[in-house]
Structure 1
Amino acid sequence: MRKYRQPLLVLLFLGLMLAAFQLSGLRAHFDLAFLRQHLLENWFSGLLLFIALFALGNLIHIPGWIFLAAAVLALGRTWGGLATYLAAAISCCLTFFTIRWLGGDALRLLKNRFAIRLLSHLDERPVRSIFLLRCLLQTAPPLNYALAMSGVKFRQYLLGTLLGLPVPITLYCVFFDYLVKALKLAA
């Protein structure tokens, strides 16, 4: 039963966060227009709100591209990308500490052959593995949860995250910037 206690705590936490998010009315603030408006009105407080909503969204499984699109629309490709990079890094760290506190290294307790093989790759080259995972999956909440419960050291997690996030963020920034320009030309 011990090996299920921590994952159940994580699931309970996720359920409570989703319920609080839904019942509090915060859901209305998770759209492009709201985020863009606040980033444009006051850059500093808008950025703080952006970071807070990104971190909360990451905990409750809201895709990071929504935040990136809002930042690019409000701040442009370069500043929007930098704001998103900062918010994504802080969000990943907050998720890591929250889920590690609740779930510990629960994935290490699994005696599944597939899980053991995946964790051995992570153990062999943690920074490289996290770098590649970030390049492919960015700030995907399931990835954050799994890495937090994998037993990987925070220093390795942080380094892999900081090195891996710029690649997909840059690609998304170029894409959203191109999309905005294409839509303006079409209008």
Structure 2
Amino acid sequence: MTEKPLAIYRPVFVLWVALLHQLPWQLFFTFAVGVPLIDIFAKPVRSLLGKPTTLWDVFLPYIIMFCLIFILYPIVVCIARAMNYRTTVYRVYADRLEIEEGFLTIHAKRLMFRDVREVSLRRGVLQRGAGLGSVYLATQATGNSPSWNPYAQFGMGSTFGSGALIRDIPEAGEAYERLRGLMDAARRD
């Protein structure tokens, strides 16, 4: 017989939170990636449009490329985040937390509560607006905050590093209290 988890948490995808969360990156990629891409793709676009006769015709390929990047980037990010959230599950047992996440590459992690040094609750402005929060479990190797994570933009990275991040869950305060109690109990044993 398999052990039954004490709690199961799943992240909640909220479109407006995802869009606002990635807006700074969207602007960055529009300009930082857009300028080199425009130089590559403006010539074929210009050849389709014909010889430019006005100032508008000169800038139209650039405007098209900036708009495509500005619109496509959030679509890709939101689809990736939604797909990842749909497949992510956090299972809490008496002595451990087990995480499974990912839609292209599956990541799994088991974090023993005896190894957890700190439990932190984070409820940012956007998360509070959606009734969500995140709980971070730090081990001695991670310190007291999540390290930089290249996959966070896509809603991935709960298993990145030696700690664990239970992200964007409803009733995060209750999860925080439960996990803190389990960590304290494991450290007493």
Bucket of the pairwise TM-score, normalised by the shorter protein: under 0.3
TM-score, normalised to structure 2, is: 0.26
Q: Which has the higher helix share?
A: 1
The structure with more radius of gyration: 2
Q: Which has the higher strand share?
A: 2
